[in-house]
């Protein structure tokens, strides 16, 4: 099903209950997790290429939403889910918001249960036609940047980069490795549907159905992202909330 699974926690929990009783797979479409750059970022994290996780900083800013749509549940929830995907569960959050008839803007600070911290900016005050998002993940050794859900840059702080020594202007073995689609080559793998994670999530769903696997973005996992989104919605500017 498309994200969000429901407009509220109660609806999400009803779906959880019904899918469990029916013995059916319920998967939620948080497709960013299935994009090539986010899969690569997760591989680097799990391969200890960044060291211990320290900080995540994200920006997700778009143009105005269609009247009646919920910006946090339709757009912001993508990065809330990625924060959990990369760093694990959130312990607390702190929100400042500036919203009105003209639109919405949110500044969110997170503290994760593993001790890491995060900062996120959400807004519908920019444009759908230009750069919309960025994710930076900092570890105790190296860091990565995901630009507009299509380009990943891995910055090395002094060791070989994936076995290849790279010299910088300052000397030593420092540099970066970039992963990005070759848009000049018109293949399915270079298309928006593939790079944004839509093809990946459909393949994952088919694999789960055919091989009786539990989805990565199961309704149970999506429930935890929904809890985080609801806490953000409830947060009063300047008031920290436990998650």
Q: Which residues of the chain have pLDDT under 50?
A: 167-172, 237
- C-beta separation of 87 from 112 below 8 A: yes
Residue 24 within any structural domain of the chain:
no
**Taking the alpha carbons of 38, 42, 47, 51 in that order, is the dihedral positive or negative?**
positive
Residue 20 within any structural domain of the chain:
no
User: What is the residue range of 171's domain?
Assistant: 29-237
Residue 17 within any structural domain of the chain:
no
Position 141 scores a pLDDT of 84
Residue 166 within any structural domain of the chain:
yes
Name the one residue in this structure whose structure tokens are 């749509």: 69
User: Number of structural domains, the chain?
Assistant: 1
Calpha distance 101→16 (Å, rounded): 35
Per residue in 39-96, pLDDT (tens digit) is 999 999 999 999 999 999 999 999 998 877 889 999 999 999 999 999 999 999 999 9
- C-beta separation of 73 from 7 below 8 A: yes
Whichever domain contains 171, its CATH number is 3.30.360.10
Q: What is the DSSP letter of 89?
A: -
Calpha distance 229→76 (Å, rounded): 8
Residue 4 within any structural domain of the chain:
no
**Taking the alpha carbons of 33, 36, 39, 45 in that order, is the dihedral positive or negative?**
negative
Calpha distance 232→243 (Å, rounded): 9
Per residue in 219-230, pLDDT (tens digit) is 999 999 999 999
Residue 51 within any structural domain of the chain:
yes
Residue 242 within any structural domain of the chain:
no
Look up the pTM and report it: 0.88
Calpha distance 202→200 (Å, rounded): 5
Residue 15 within any structural domain of the chain:
no
Burial class (CB in 10 A: 0-12, 13-18, 19+), 201: buried
């Amino acid at each position: 099903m498309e994200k969000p699974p429901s407009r509220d926690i109660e609806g999400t929990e009803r779906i959880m209950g019904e899918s469990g009783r029916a013995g059916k797979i319920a998967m939620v479409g948080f497709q960013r997790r299935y994009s090539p750059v986010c899969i690569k970022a997760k591989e680097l994290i799990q391969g200890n290429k960044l060291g211990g996780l320290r900080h995540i900083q994200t920006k997700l800013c778009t143009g105005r939403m269609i009247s009646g749509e919920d910006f946090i549940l339709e757009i912001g929830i993508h990065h809330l889910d990625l924060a959990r995907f990369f760093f694990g569960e959130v312990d607390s959050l702190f929100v400042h918001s500036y919203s009105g008839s003209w639109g919405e803007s949110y500044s969110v600070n997170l503290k994760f249960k593993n001790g890491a911290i995060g900062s996120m900016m959400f807004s519908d005050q920019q444009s759908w036609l230009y750069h919309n998002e960025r994710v930076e993940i900092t570890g105790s050794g190296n860091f990565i940047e995901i630009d507009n859900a299509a380009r990943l840059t891995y910055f090395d702080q002094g060791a070989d980069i994936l076995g290849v020594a790279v010299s910088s202007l300052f000397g030593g073995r420092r540099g970066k490795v970039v992963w990005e689609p070759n848009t000049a080559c018109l293949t399915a793998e270079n298309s928006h549907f593939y790079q944004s994670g839509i093809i990946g999530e459909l393949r994952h769903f088919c694999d789960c159905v055919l091989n009786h696997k539990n989805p990565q973005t199961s309704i149970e996992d999506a429930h935890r992202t929904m809890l985080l989104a609801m806490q953000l919605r409830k947060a009063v500017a300047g008031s920290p909330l436990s998650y």
